[in-house]
Amino acid sequence: MPKDKDQGSVGDKNRNEASRPDPEFCCLALENYAATALRNIVVRDVRDRNGISLGTIVARHDGTVAGIIAAAQGVTDRMYADYPDASNIESRIGATDKTGKPKWSISPNFNHLAEIGTDEAANIWGDLTARTI
């Protein structure tokens, strides 16, 4: 467990932080969403091998495929440092686009990046019925 608080993890019960974000940042009217959404970020939903949520780690990316993969590798390194019980397979990785909309599914080994809503993205996130090429 880390000794210092930082802004990279959200809702981490191991750090005695609130499990909900501040309403000012999470409860937005639809018309204000685009103006305030977190743009170009990678999000790692950290879970243990039983699928129990341990926390969330967020990092910015530059909008390129290489930048998304680099940010995903960085949040994964951080996941292992901050959460020793984390499971790489159970902890999904996604990324938003320049508008803040969830756009990409990233495989745990960083070899595949697929647009959310495609069969490949569903397969990356564990839908074994999804067909892939």
Q: Which residues contact 99 (CB under 8 A, 6 or more apart)?
A: 34, 37, 39
What would the pLDDT profile of 2-32 be if each residue is shown by its tens digit? 444 444 444 444 444 433 344 344 334 444 4
Task: Place 130 in a pLDDT band, splitting at 50, 70 and 90.
Answer: low
Which tens digits make up the pLDDT trace of 53-68?
999 999 999 999 999 9
By DSSP bridging, strand 41-47 and strand 93-96 are: antiparallel
Comparing CA positions, the residue from 36, 97, 23, 37 lying closest to residue 67 is: 97
Highest mean pLDDT range out of 27-31, 35-39, 103-107? 103-107
Task: Using the predicted structure, report yes or no on whether residue 95 has a pLDDT greater than 60.
Answer: yes
Residue 128's pLDDT is 57
